[in-house]
Amino acid sequence: MSNRKQAFAQPMTNPSTRFMEWKSNDKSFSFYSKSDEKELQQTLPFKFLLLDELHTIGGWNDSSESRIFANEVKFIGKQEITVKAFKGGVLAKGIYSAIKDQAKNAGGHYLKSIYIMLEDNSLANIKLKGSAVKEWGDFTQANRAALSGQWIEVNGAIEAKKGSIKYSTPEFTLGKILTPNEESDADACFDVLEAYLKAYLVKEDTEEVEAVPAEPVDDLDF
C-alpha cells in the first residue's frame, strides 16, 4: 500500500483490546470487559511482549466527582499534556514538569502507559502508577537489550510497606525467547500500533481519548 493510502487507512481509535491496571490490594491486573459490563481480573501467571511506552495522567477529581484523563505523549519533557475531568473540563495543560502540582492538587497522578502484545497476538495496554512505575523502570533498565526478543512474565506480586500502608507491585521477569513465528506476529502487531500512534500523537485535543470506566483509587505517591 502506498504512503498516501496508508495515511487514510491509519486507525484513529485505540487498537488495544483491553486496558489493564495493577490493583495493589488484589495483587493482580484488572480490566474492564465491555461484553461482561464489569471489571475482570487478569489471572497470573501472565505474559506479554513490550511494544512501546508512553506517558499520561489519570486519577479522580473530587470536585466534579468524575474520572481524570489526559492525552498520551511519547516525550514527556517536550510534549504538552491536557488533563481533563469527564465532568469538570480542563484541569491543567502544559509540559508535565510545569503542570505536575496543578494536576496532583486536582486529584491526578502520573501513569506509565505500556503497549503490549498478548499471547493471542492481540494488542493491549497496561497503565502503571506510583511504586509499580519504579518497579517497571528498574526491570526495563536492567533488561533493555532483551526486551524486544523475549516475553515478559508476571508470575506474582512483590509485597511492600510504606509507613503504615501495605501495597504490592507486579514482579516482572524475563520469559522465553520469541520463536520466528512469534517475531513475525510481533512485527505485525507493532505495525498496527505504530499506524495508530502516528495519527494519534499529532492530535492536540483530548476530546476523543478513549478511557476505561473505573473507581477512584488512592495513590501511594505521585
User: Is residue 100 assigned to a domain?
Assistant: yes
Query: What is the spatial distance between Cα 205 and Cα 115, in angstroms, rounded to a whole number?
Result: 21
User: Is residue 92 assigned to a domain?
Assistant: yes
User: Is residue 208 assigned to a domain?
Assistant: no
- Give the pLDDT of residue 9: 54
- Give the pLDDT of residue 180: 95
DSSP secondary structure, 137-162, as one string: HHHHHHTGGGTTTEEEEEEEEEEEEE
Query: What is the spatial distance between Cα 209 and Cα 211, in angstroms, rounded to a whole number?
Result: 6
User: Is residue 215 assigned to a domain?
Assistant: no
- Give the pLDDT of residue 199: 82
User: Is residue 82 assigned to a domain?
Assistant: yes
Q: What are the backbone dihedrals phi and psi of residue 148, each rounded to the nearest 5 degrees, phi first?
A: -80, -15
User: Is residue 221 assigned to a domain?
Assistant: no
- Give the pLDDT of residue 33: 80
Domain region containing 91: 6-31+40-200
Instruction: List the pLDDT tens digit at each of the 222 positions of the chain.
Output: 444 455 555 556 889 999 999 999 989 999 988 877 788 888 888 999 999 999 999 999 999 999 999 999 999 999 999 999 999 899 999 999 999 999 999 999 999 999 999 999 999 999 999 999 999 999 999 999 999 999 999 999 999 988 888 899 999 999 999 999 999 999 999 999 999 998 877 654 434 433 333 333 334 443
When divided into structural domains, the chain yields a total of 1
Query: What is the spatial distance between Cα 26 and Cα 13, in angstroms, rounded to a whole number?
Result: 30
Q: What are the backbone dihedrals phi and psi of residue 120, each rounded to the nearest 5 degrees, phi first?
A: -90, 15
Beta strands in the chain (DSSP E): 19-23, 28-33, 38-42, 46-61, 66-70, 81-85, 89-94, 108-117, 123-128, 150-162, 165-177
Could you give the 3-state DSSP secondary structure of residue 176?
strand
User: Is residue 11 assigned to a domain?
Assistant: yes
User: Is residue 205 assigned to a domain?
Assistant: no
